[in-house]
Amino acid sequence: MPKILLVEDNEMNRDMLSRRLEKRGYTLAIAVDGGAGVAMAKSESPDLILMDMSLPVLDGWDATRQVKADPATKGIPIIALTAHAMESDRQKALEAGCDDFDTKPVELNRLLLKIEELLKKFPPKA
């Protein structure tokens, strides 16, 4: 199954999302801040990243820019997760390099559709 890197600083959100995605058969790697997320994008080679945008150490926008600027990780699709639901927030996430955008609280079926669409567009490595 595809590996997802979840970059989320909120323990409750991290626990809820990771358990639900693992039940769906995804393998999870977890980072608790943007700096760790950038490092784990390289070390874990995930098939997709779920990136919280309000993170300590390095926010999700800058973490996304760093992942997309690195030739080793630039092809990994990223879905921004944020409680900021304005169109300007979506645009800001896309301009940072995110491939899609979803709002919190997470509606799992909607997020799963976005994950599946991106994994079809960017198939996991064999």
pTM: 0.95
Per-residue pLDDT band at 126 (split at 50, 70, 90): low
Per-residue pLDDT band at 124 (split at 50, 70, 90): confident
Other CB atoms within 10 A of residue 125 CB: 9
User: Domain for residue 10, yes or no?
Assistant: yes
The number of folded domains in the chain is 1
User: Domain for residue 98, yes or no?
Assistant: yes
User: Domain for residue 112, yes or no?
Assistant: yes
User: Domain for residue 80, yes or no?
Assistant: yes
pLDDT tens, 63-102?
999 999 999 999 999 999 998 888 998 999 999 999 999 9
